[in-house]
Amino acid sequence: MEFKILKNKLHESIQHVSKAITNRTTIPILSGIKIDAYDQEVILTASDTEISIQSFIPKEIEDNPVIEIIREGNVVLPAKFFVEIIRKLPGEYVEIKVDSSFQTTIKSGTSELQIIGLDPEEYPVLPSIEENNSIMLASDLLKSMIKQTSFSISTNESTPILTGILWNLSNKNLKFVATDRHRLASREISNIEVSEDLNLGNIVISGKTLNELNKLLPDQNQMIHIVFANNQVLFKIDSILFYTRILDGIYPDTSKIIPQTFKTEIIVPTKLFLEAIDRAYLLSRENQTNIVKMIIRDHEEIEITSSLTSLGKITEQVKAERIDGELIQISFNSKYMLDALKVIDSENIQIGITGTMSPIIIKPSEDTNMLHLILPYRTTN
């Protein structure tokens, strides 16, 4: 293998695939990045078995040469060092040359490197995915759907299925659900572009993986092609392929725990409510429970309080837009409430309460596509 490549393009590609590199891999070859040089392109591949990322660098971009291929071939180079050194090389171009024992010479400007490469034959083969079942989703929409749900996944590895986000697709309606049994976040969109009459059962993808994907998704409104196979999902982003496996297991049916009618309904400005909760959270977290109490004494204002014997007490008043139904007081985890409020971008939120021991529902007041649920704390008074 021998080729010359624009340093910046190589660096950009390395940055993309390196998101799949972990330091704690037990498979030595996966601590490397695989480089395949073909006549028309160079492909970089990295994988941690959970996620695999490929980046394609074309020979030319808009008629400008990017790569000059001298001899096709491939090699695996140690990722950590490769990622850091390429960016710092002094030349505009980088020349990479591999001999028969995978000894690799990298030249750029006044620098010359000899790197001990690994045999690319040892590198795992990526799954081949048939493109029958697929959807198209705007990048910015996918990004916000992940952001608006992923904070609610469980971090407890004893229930692996809850560390994922549930994808449910039926009648061109895509819904994400995440729950850790104490709270739940859901977000849906309708009328998406699907191949044929695709309906997917419950597909669960690791929330951590989707957060990694989020870093690669462009902010612009660019279409992402998502392909579903037996136990894999493939995201096609521009010149990047992002593979991940589907989590095994049955996701719990969460539809029954969401109350449909409320005894108390509140409409309150999102920003004011968020700021009040945030201040109460500062005190409540000193206690590690994050517990705050919301008191509805009249149909005008919400009172938020939190107290801690050793530190003191905070009392917040938030003027509501509307309070309908029963006066009530209810306690909950202020951190969970904050997390939910931070991903809601509508001006007002609607809070629905059915009783001191029933789930609290938080929704944007003008939008039915998003829902957050928080289980209350049982308190003595």
Residue of 9, 18, 76, 81 whose CA lies nearest to 47: 18
Among 316, 331, 341, 363, binds its own copies (CB under 8 A): 316
Q: Which residues, 243 to 302, sit near its own copies by CB under 8 A? A: 275-276, 278-279, 282-283, 286
Phi/psi for 347 (5° steps) reads: -65, -40
Nearer to its own copies, 92 or 248 (CB): 92
CB of 115 to its own copies, least distance (A): 4
CB of 8 to its own copies, least distance (A): 16
Among 35, 51, 291, 314, binds its own copies (CB under 8 A): 314
Nearer to its own copies, 90 or 201 (CB): 90
Nearer to its own copies, 317 or 379 (CB): 317
- Report the distance separating Cα 45 and Cα 126, nearest Å: 9
Nearer to its own copies, 89 or 241 (CB): 89
Q: Which residues, 65 to 94, sit near its own copies by CB under 8 A? A: 78, 81, 84-85, 88-90
Q: Which residues, 216 to 245, sit near its own copies by CB under 8 A? A: none
Residue of 238, 241, 318, 236 whose CA lies nearest to 273: 318
CB of 82 to its own copies, least distance (A): 10
Nearer to its own copies, 68 or 286 (CB): 286
Amino acid (1-letter code) at residue 64: N
Task: Determine, following the binding rule CB under 8 A, whether residue 311 of this chain makes contact with its own copies.
Answer: yes
CB of 347 to its own copies, least distance (A): 18
* Segment interacting with its own copies, rule: CB under 8 A, options 42-50, 119-127, 208-216, 304-312: 304-312
Task: Determine, following the binding rule CB under 8 A, whether residue 28 of this chain makes contact with its own copies.
Answer: no
- Per-residue x/- marks for its own copies, 99-118, CB under 8 A? -----x-----xxxxxxx--
Nearer to its own copies, 323 or 373 (CB): 323
CB of 104 to its own copies, least distance (A): 8
Among 310, 368, 380, 381, binds its own copies (CB under 8 A): 310
Nearer to its own copies, 334 or 354 (CB): 334
Contact set with its own copies (CB under 8 A): 78, 81, 84-85, 88-90, 104, 110-116, 275-276, 278-279, 282-283, 286, 307, 310-319
